[in-house]
Structure 1
Amino acid sequence: MKRTTVIIAGLDVHIYTTKTFATSTKPILALFALHGRLESSETGSIQNLIPPLVDAAEKHESEKGKDLMVIALDHRNHGTRLRDNTANLDFKENANHLHDMWTIQAGTAQDVSFLMDYLEAYLFPAGERSIVEWGVAGISLGGHAAWILAAAEPRVTLAIPIIGCPDYLKLMVPRAAASGIAMRPPHFPESLVKVIRAKGPPALPYTSKGHENPFLGKKILVLSGEADTLVPWTASQVFVEGLEVGPTGVKEYILFHGVGHAVPPPMVNAAVNFVLGVL
């Protein structure tokens, strides 16, 4: 596995590729790997996912198909971009948890869309390679951002939310209640709730068969822990089970029994196999 870092508009963007990537001319699947809350692109579960992805892609290489390029960056207010650690904590230590976690995941989704505009120009300025498909695999906070991107970014055709949740309010209301916080201002400002309801995936007509459903034709793999109490499956279940991707799309979801808020090897293997099916 080879890693290179390119700085784009002040963002450290880490690129992971196979050993033969540099001499290949095949089209590219570019997959963003987004880390969890309180972690970074260099630490935590994301670094248990990236090497197996690249190693499997290397073994899978053939003359046909696509090359895999995995891209990692720090979320806003994480890693090299950390400004206020309190803003990354939950309601017990941060009264603005609803505000902060939403703006971090929504902002990171915007960062990914921004990088999609310019990454090819930085990496292949002479047009020597072409990125033909974009994907995102995210863990926990990164899984929340992966859902936002799958819904809002037409270029993202592959999404793997891992122990993440598409329904932010359904996740956060019980979390606030457990800390004795009611769904009302100042912890739940009406202006913020309005934005979340307008921009979160559940606000979209995701069960529609018409062109307005942004998930149609996309490949979605959802990986959740049955014993996860931090991001419980019950917060995602209605959305995921009702999600329609149409006849050309793929939707799979796996509930790992006995698994909490963690990414054990079977989850990693499921993500790897799903990506290999796209190469």
Structure 2
Amino acid sequence: MAISRRTVVIAGLPVHVYSEGGLEAISGPVSVLFLLHGRMGSAHQIDSVAEEAMKVVSEKRQSKEASIGLIVVTFDQRNHGERLVDTFANGAWKENGNDRHAIDMYATYVGTAKDVSYLIDFLPSYIFPSGEAEVVQWSVGGISLGGHASWIVLRQEPRITLGIPIIGCPDYLKLISGRAKESEIPFEPPYIPKTFLSYIQQHDPAQASYTISEASNPFLGKKILVLSGADDPLVQWSCSQEFVENLQCTPDMVKEMANFVWDNVLVVA
């Protein structure tokens, strides 16, 4: 079945919705996967990723019936793509001398996480105004900056039950302190304001009680596939390793990458 891409403008925010055969062909229960692009990127640049994900699912449907439909949703992160207002703010310390790099980057993907929650609130009303289908499950995946944002979403948004952070880091203090050292930037104000540090310590995924089996653990019961490159020079695995190993992520998850959403969402009764 052909993959359809439709742009829906939600209160001024262009949102791109990928589906099998168009939204008109969807009925019954459906799962939504938010796919988030990387730094300096845009929703347009991950068109092929969204389309390929849909094609994999479409091909699987030829041999096995799924009880739940799938749509993939992309949008420009703040200050990216059609929402770009300040190119300088997207640069890093070494790239263009942006002194506010630490704040700008974190604020961007915290804002993206809030956008995801906002879209969960309103997207169904825009694409299924007469109740043609019902969204029964929400997932998030992202690459690089989108991977970072995915971790924020997984911590902050209880309606998201599955995540696939790709080259993303859940521990911002480890990530940005290492980058500051490499860039010969002191880890102190004005580069790292005290108010900013306090916010991270309260809200960052790595600061959550992620090892306990109690309701205060925001990751409890969520299915997470973590994909990171051991030799990645920008988002080093060491920044994520302690957190991820405590979540008991195993190498088998990588082997199941292509089937993750299918097996854990679409064919689950």
TM-score, normalised with respect to structure 1: 0.89
Q: Is 1:50 paired with 2:54?
A: no
Aligned equivalents of 2:56 and 2:212: distance in 1? Answer: 36
Cα offsets for 1:201-257 (capped at 9, x unmatched):
11110001111111111110000111101000000000011126xxxxxx54579xx
Amino acid of the structure 1 residue aligned with 2:190: P
Match of 1:71 among 64, 70, 73: 73
Distance verdict in 2 for CA 1:172–1:253, change over 3 Å = farther
Q: Quote how far apart the aligned CAs of 1:51 are.
A: 1.6
SS at match of 2:39: coil
Q: Quote how far apart the aligned CAs of 1:9 are.
A: 1.3
Flag structure 1 segments of 5+ consecutive residues without an equivalent.
Answer: 245-250, 256-266
Distance verdict in 2 for CA 1:20–1:86, change over 3 Å = closer
Cα offsets for 1:59-101 (capped at 9, x unmatched):
2235541111000000000000001111111112211000100
Aligned equivalents of 2:217 and 2:151: distance in 1? Answer: 14
Distance verdict in 2 for CA 1:254–1:89, change over 3 Å = farther
Aligned to 1:230: 234
Aligned equivalents of 1:95 and 1:253: distance in 2? Answer: 38
Flag structure 2 segments of 5+ consecutive residues without an equivalent.
Answer: none
Aligned pairs, how many? 259
Aligned to 1:192: 196
Amino acid of the structure 2 residue aligned with 1:188: I
SS at match of 1:226: coil
Alignment RMSD (CA, Å): 1.7
Match of 1:18 among 14, 17, 20: 20
1:67-146 equivalent positions in 2, closer than 5 A: 67-92=69-94, 93=96, 94-146=98-150
Aligned equivalents of 1:4 and 1:90: distance in 2? Answer: 33
Q: Percent identity?
A: 46
1:35-46 equivalent positions in 2, closer than 5 A: 35-43=37-45, 46=46
SS at match of 1:132: strand
SS at match of 1:174: helix
Q: Quote how far apart the aligned CAs of 1:127 are.
A: 1.1
Q: Quote how far apart the aligned CAs of 1:160 are.
A: 0.2
Aligned equivalents of 2:68 and 2:236: distance in 1? Answer: 35
Q: Contact 1:77–1:104 (CA<8 Å) still a contact in 2?
A: yes
Distance verdict in 2 for CA 1:76–1:190, change over 3 Å = same
Amino acid of the structure 2 residue aligned with 1:12: P
Amino acid of the structure 2 residue aligned with 1:84: D
Aligned equivalents of 2:256 and 2:42: distance in 1? Answer: 22
SS at match of 1:216: coil
Aligned equivalents of 2:251 and 2:144: distance in 1? Answer: 15
Moved over 4 A (4+): 251-255
**Whose helix fraction is larger, Structure 1's or Structure 2's?**
2
Amino acid of the structure 1 residue aligned with 2:258: V
SS at match of 1:236: helix
Q: Contact 1:6–1:13 (CA<8 Å) still a contact in 2?
A: yes
